[in-house]
Amino acid sequence: MTNRNSTTESQPHESRWLDRLSNEAALAVMAEDQHAAAVAVQSALTEIEAAAEAIVTRLQGDAQSRLFYAGAGTSIRIGVQDGVELTPTFDWPEDRLGFIIAGGEAALMRSVENAEDNAEAAHQEVAAKITASDVLIGLAASGSTPFTCAAVEAAKAKGALTIGIANNANAPLVAKADFGITLLTGAKSVAGSTRMKAGTAQKICLNLISTLVMVRLGRVKQGVMAAMRPTNAKLRQRQQHIDAILNR
């Protein structure tokens, strides 16, 4: 079990210092961390369920409501990865999907200096994009990233439904959101690197939330992607298989 006093910035125990381990041992440590990420998500299922149910209610209640992801660095890249898959997989309308990205879209491909510290930019983005009918999911491993906290705070003030996902206990992001989710992953094998198990836990968490939301919105039937967009040969073949299942 993860020590609650251990944070995403904590130095790992010396027995887990990758630079002092053999290749085999280093890989074993990293693989163990990936398993720990899944365990952290498993421990947060109650919070995840509550957030997903609230999102479904909001999206069902208003045909104009949209789903937004907000964050900086690795966390928003994970959010974008989850969000962009909703359209081809579940035919979620592109105009009902959006992103609040620290540093703008350019930051998805390269680091933008000080972007995560710019709370004012988050307020401006939310003011320009978010309405009271929307949903915003904020992601930050530390749970204290100024940009992400500001985005959640501003969206909530406008009446949007807000979800905060963090990897440290007692994170401000979790406290600011309508629904907070703590994925307690603790120290990573490379201290402070979100792309390690904190990021893995975030991705699993988003997979669970977005998939459950789409299921409850009727876009999955009999275990298949009933609303999938067949945009290439492979998917057209898959669509034939799906149609055969649903028309039995």
228 and 205 part of one domain = no
Q: Is residue 74 part of a domain?
A: yes
137 and 173 part of one domain = yes
Question: Which of 111, 14, 98, 33 lies closest to 72, judged by CA?
Answer: 111
201 and 225 part of one domain = no
DSSP class of residue 105 equals G
Q: What is the CATH number of the domain that holds 101?
A: 3.40.50.10490
Q: Is residue 159 part of a domain?
A: yes
Q: Is residue 123 part of a domain?
A: yes
Q: Is residue 1 part of a domain?
A: no
Profile the chain (248 residues) by mean pLDDT over runs of 10 residues: 64 85 93 93 98 97 95 96 96 97 94 91 98 98 96 98 96 98 86 81 97 94 83 87 86
Grouping H, G, I as helix, E, B as strand and the rest as coil, residue 222 is: coil
| Alpha carbon 172 to chain centroid, angstroms | 17
Residue 142 has φ and ψ, to the nearest 5°, of -70, -30
156 and 229 part of one domain = no
155 and 245 part of one domain = no
Quote the pLDDT of residue 2.
53
113 and 136 part of one domain = yes
102 and 19 part of one domain = yes
140 and 52 part of one domain = yes
Tokens 């988003």 label which residue?
A: 206
Quote the pLDDT of residue 37.
95
pLDDT tens per residue, range 154-207: 999 999 999 999 999 999 999 999 999 999 998 777 877 767 889 999 999 999
% helix, strand, coil for the chain, step of 5:
55, 10, 35
From the list 85, 94, 105, 125, the catalytic residue is 85
125 and 225 part of one domain = no
How many domains does one find in the chain? 2
From the list 116, 120, 125, 153, the catalytic residue is 116
Q: Is residue 9 part of a domain?
A: no
230 and 111 part of one domain = no
116 in catalytic set: yes
Amino acid at 155: A
Q: Is residue 38 part of a domain?
A: yes
Contact 18, 188 (CB under 8 A): no
Range of the domain at 232: 221-248
Quote the pLDDT of residue 133.
97
Alpha carbon distance 139, 165 (integer Å)? 5
198 and 240 part of one domain = no
199 and 228 part of one domain = no
Quote the pLDDT of residue 186.
82
Q: Is residue 102 part of a domain?
A: yes
